[in-house]
Amino acid sequence: MAKTSISRAQFLRGDYRGRDGIIRPPWSRAEHLFVEQCTRCDDCVKACPEGILKRGRGGFPQVDFSRGECSFCQECQKICRAPVFTPTSHRPWFHHIVIEAQCLTNQGVVCVACAEQCESSAIRFVARPGRVAQPQVSLSACNGCGACYRPCPAGAIRFQTSQPVPREQPSQRLEAYS
């Protein structure tokens, strides 16, 4: 049996597989700093022109890609008065998509809905002799915008952390907010 490590919060919300991770707005600081410093004012939720930000657990903003995709407009960051964002020169997110087994191509159905929506061309289809072409995700090209999520008819897209989120100490502050 494989040993799995989950956080207390994952256990309490029943997320035993770690699939229900919360995605904060783009350029958010490390989770513990975000939660510590966010005022839960909802300014970012109201400012999001795509309407993908919503009030999540504890009243903190989180992304809901079932509502649409992120255009990286930076409106959430511009309106925020709390020091919860990193500079836009940093990577906006530390997640990428994973295409799961319920993808229609695994059932012999031709579907390219995800790739058609992907402006960064992170999803391509690889031909397989005698079978339907299978999707492959380029982790280096995937910007985590979520454009592929909503149009997937099988609900086969999920988000996964692509690298550890940088650890910041609670005492660290961004220069812009010092």
Q: Do 82 and 105 have their domain in common?
A: no
Position 97 confidence tier, pLDDT thresholds 50, 70, 90:
very high
- Residues 114-144 have pLDDT tens digits of 999 999 999 999 998 999 999 999 999 999 9
If pLDDT is split at 50, 70 and 90, which confidence band does 75 have?
very high
Do 100 and 81 reside in the same domain of the chain? no
Residues 114 and 82 in one domain: no
Whether the per-residue pLDDT at 101 is higher than 70: the answer is yes
Structural domain span for residue 134: 94-164
pLDDT of residue 90 exceeding 50, the answer is yes
Residues 6+ apart with CB under 8 A from 50: 67, 68, 69, 70, 71, 73
**DSSP run (H or E) holding 117:** helix 113-117
Provide the CATH number for the domain around residue 101.
Answer: 3.30.70.20
Burial of 64 from C-beta contacts in 10 A (0-12 / 13-18 / 19+): middle
Do 128 and 79 share a structural domain?
no
Count of structural domains, the chain: 2
Pair (60, 125) in one structural domain? no
What pLDDT is recorded for position 86? 94
Note whether 86 and 98 are same-domain residues.
no
Please report the pLDDT score of residue 161 as a whole number.
83
Among 75, 92, 109, residue at a domain's last position: 92
pLDDT tops 60 at residue 167: no
Tens of pLDDT along 45-70? 999 999 999 999 999 999 999 999 99
